[in-house]
Structure 1
Amino acid sequence: MEFLQWLNTPVFEIFGKPVPWSDFVGNVCAIATVFLALRRNVLSWPVQILGSVLLFSASVSAGLGGNAARQIVIIAAAVWGWTQWKRAREEAGEITIRWATWKERLLLVAVLAVGTAGFGFVLALGGWSWNPYPDAYIFIGSLVAMYAQGRAIVEFWFVWLAVDLVGIPLAIMGGLVFSGIVYGIFFVMVIVGIVDWAKRSRQRVSHPAAPASDVL
């Protein structure tokens, strides 16, 4: 109990808003997760799990029910993604990047739209979030992005981009200013990720036997 209280103890302030240890360290892990994903490093998944545990505590303290629930499901999704990347590396020796098919793209968009509407309704009905539909959008968008990441398709970066555009103002309005700043950092990293993965995907088509030197 004392440890949980310490996690939500402010470590510093930004624009007069306290930043608890859980929000600070959790977001540092989140930045590391994106960097490792950019490098196609399998360690991105366990780092994601650690960050989600910490951000769950931060979200509960900020009254963001959807965001807190998102962290629980993200942990489960990260375990699945971890197994997918480990299997891919064992079978092919690398994480093979590709563009999604149109069928996969339509599925991602449909799940994002229907999931946001459905989960947003649940959050509003239960009074579990002060801004239910944007909160739900981030929740469902994160799951869709992680599914796409687990499948190693380039479009997962575009889904994260869409999540960031909503996550930045929502986090700041919810009092998690540091999280809002981190979302801004994510935005830049996601752009880099799109360019890098798109390039690697083209290289794989041109040189299918080329090895990947930066994957653990």
Structure 2
Amino acid sequence: MTPWSEAGFQLFGQHVLFTDLVGNVFALATVWLAKRRTIWAWPVQLAGSVLLFAASMTAGLGGNAMKQVLFAVLATYGWWRWARGMRGGTELQVRPATPRERTVLIGVLVVGTVLVAWAFDHFDASWAPLPDAYIFVGSAVATFGQSRALVDFWLVWVAVDLVGVPLAIQGGLWVTAAVYGVFFVMVIAGFRDWLARYRQRSLTQEEAVSP
């Protein structure tokens, strides 16, 4: 990696990468912006993905680095989807996933994790292929759900965070590990907010059609 991607500082005897630090600040901002349902969540996520890609490559986490590439693609897609959904200044309409959508998302998570873990192991792309693959695929599923304005995407992030914290610590990405912990709290808050707004909108619509 280039010198700038390896630059950092010492904190409690650990080398903290600037790319890891700043990239995770952008990642936290993305969650906060997503909770507020603002389209700015996507360009901020795009910028954070570039920085975290460099940090992951430096730490030897190939799966995490590939996740950032996928994030960049999904952020572009989400940006486009939300721009369409908010055309004319309308508020983003969030909703729970249908049973069919949930089945598909869970299926993609399970099958995708197995296939990606095999690829990581076969090509020696990660020292922890299975959890790295789970984070990679789970993050993709969550981001896709976010792009579709599905309330369920917050719950997928919870499942990813539970594996992401110990893996980041083992990889020496201490800032990422700490941010995953903060993510967990913010994700729970985001889920409650989106679900409440969906229920409020549904109630308003029911009252509007009542005789």
Question: TM tier, shorter chain?
Answer: over 0.9
Shift of 1:45: 0.3
Select the residue among 146, 155, 159 that pairs with 2:156: 159
1:87 and 1:183 map into 2 onto residues whose CA distance is 30
**1:79 partnered with 2:76:** yes
Q: Percent identity among equivalent residues? A: 51
1:114 and 1:92 map into 2 onto residues whose CA distance is 39
Equivalent residue, structure 1, for 2:209: none
**TM-score scaled to structure 2, two decimals?**
0.94
What is the DSSP-based 3-state SS (H/G/I as helix, E as strand, rest coil) of the residue aligned with 1:129? coil
Equivalent residue, structure 2, for 1:26: 23
1:8 and 1:50 map into 2 onto residues whose CA distance is 18
- Unaligned 5+ runs, structure 1: 210-216
Shift of 1:10: 1.2
2:13 and 2:76 map into 1 onto residues whose CA distance is 37
Shift of 1:91: 5.9
- Unaligned 5+ runs, structure 2: 207-211
AA in 2 matched with 1:85: W
Structure 2 vs 1, CA of residues 45 and 145 (structure 1 numbering), >3 Å: closer, same or farther?
Answer: same
Select the residue among 58, 63, 66 that pairs with 1:66: 63
What is the DSSP-based 3-state SS (H/G/I as helix, E as strand, rest coil) of the residue aligned with 1:18? strand
Shift of 1:92: 7.2
AA in 1 matched with 2:164: G
Shift of 1:6: 2.2
List per-residue Cα deviations over 1:25-74 (Å, max 9, x = no partner): 00000000000000001000000000000000000000000000110111
**TM-score scaled to structure 1, two decimals?**
0.92
Select the residue among 162, 184, 187 that pairs with 1:187: 184
2:10 and 2:142 map into 1 onto residues whose CA distance is 31
Name segments (4+ residues, structure 1) moved above 2 Å. none
Select the residue among 107, 119, 124 that pairs with 1:127: 124
